[in-house]
Amino acid sequence: MSYQPELPLDDTQRLRAGAALSWGAILAGAVAAIAFSLMLLVLGSGLGFAAISPWANRGASAATFAISGAIWLIVTQWLSSALGGYLAGRLRHRWLATHQHEVFFRDTAHGLITWSVATVIVVLLASASLSSLGGGAARAGAAVAAVTGRGAQGARGGMEGRESAPPQMDAGRAGGGGGDENTYAAEKLFRVAPASPASGMNSESAGRGSDGRGPDVPNYRMEAVHIAAKAASSGDVSEEDRSYLASLVAAKTGISMDDAQKRVDAFVAHAKDVLVRAKAAADEARKAAAQASIYTALAMLIGAFIASVAAAIGGHLRDEHL
């Protein structure tokens, strides 16, 4: 097989041999799109802070603010895509001896790639920022846990001298925090009547433990919270738990079994209502997240289309003037 030297390119082939992509124009358009997006986001933040007010019946409502913010983000994405695509099309090098349809395709490809590069850069920057914030929060949590652990070790030796601590403090420690609704319901469940008729028990002695030294609050209130948690997982409270709670309420508060049963029924109804409201809130959050994802994907798709069209317009104008 004999070696055949390559023939020199004619003028048409030489003009077509140029690169199809102008990466300089693509990167320039992506950087301009990102910068323009940041400028619009800062402007939108300023307008948003100017529209809200801490005073009642003043400024935009929460729903109006959320809708306006979503619309502003979509418009920001579209305008930045148009700017980046237009610059990519206008700054790319000229393709000589290339068919008009091929030029149009390359221009739209430049706009799409510009949009893609800008989107990837923004996502990477956002991910890095979130990772940094998450790491800072984790370190702060570890520091708080260490301080709390040292405080707990220092306070462990003084627990015996605190038998007379207020019931509200013990209930808060037993229930995991004063803000928990089941803990509050348990406190309401074991409220002692002003005068207890059973066995000469009064409101002072009813709240004390079996040794008479101090309140025995955490034990039975924690049991009630555990029963409420079991009801949250299973959906209802068994008759055995209801009877046990009623007898426990009657023994601790000195009220009759009928009144204790009414309190238990109200407590169970409250626990179920908390569960229903929690599920409703979770379902609303799920729907909101699904809608936000769909709208974001649709806005991004339209932004890619706008960038492609803008690049085609910019490339067409560039070829007309040169």
CB of 311 closer than 8 Å to CB of 89: yes
Residue 60 confidence (pLDDT) = 67
Residue 206 confidence (pLDDT) = 43
CB of 230 closer than 8 Å to CB of 275: no
Residue 152 confidence (pLDDT) = 44
Residue 208 confidence (pLDDT) = 47
For the chain, give every domain's residue range: 23-140+295-321, 166-281
CA–CA gap between residue 64 and residue 41 (Å, rounded): 18
Residue 174 confidence (pLDDT) = 41
Residue 273 confidence (pLDDT) = 85
Residue 3 confidence (pLDDT) = 46
Backbone torsions φ then ψ of 175, nearest 5 degrees = -90, 0
CB of 249 closer than 8 Å to CB of 255: yes
CB of 31 closer than 8 Å to CB of 108: no
Going through the chain in order, the beta strands assigned E by DSSP cover: none
pLDDT tens-place values along the chain, 322 residues long: 454 444 454 555 555 556 788 899 999 999 999 999 999 988 888 877 776 666 766 766 767 777 888 888 889 989 999 999 999 999 988 887 788 888 899 999 999 999 999 999 988 988 887 777 666 666 666 665 555 455 445 444 444 444 444 444 444 444 444 445 676 677 667 755 544 444 444 444 444 444 444 444 456 777 787 777 777 777 777 788 788 888 888 888 888 888 888 888 888 888 888 888 888 999 998 998 888 888 888 889 999 999 999 999 999 898 887 6
For 280, the token pair is: 């409703």
Report which DSSP code applies to 191: P
Residue 150 confidence (pLDDT) = 53
Q: Which residues of 265-282 are buried (b: 16+ CB within 10 A; e: fewer)?
A: eebbebbbebbeeeeeee
Three-state secondary-structure class, residue 18: coil
* Residue 4 CB contacts under 8 Å (≥ 6 apart), including other chains: none
Backbone torsions φ then ψ of 156, nearest 5 degrees = -65, -35
Q: Which residues pair with 208 in a beta bridge?
A: 215
Residue 191 confidence (pLDDT) = 57
Residue 267 confidence (pLDDT) = 85
Residue 137 confidence (pLDDT) = 61
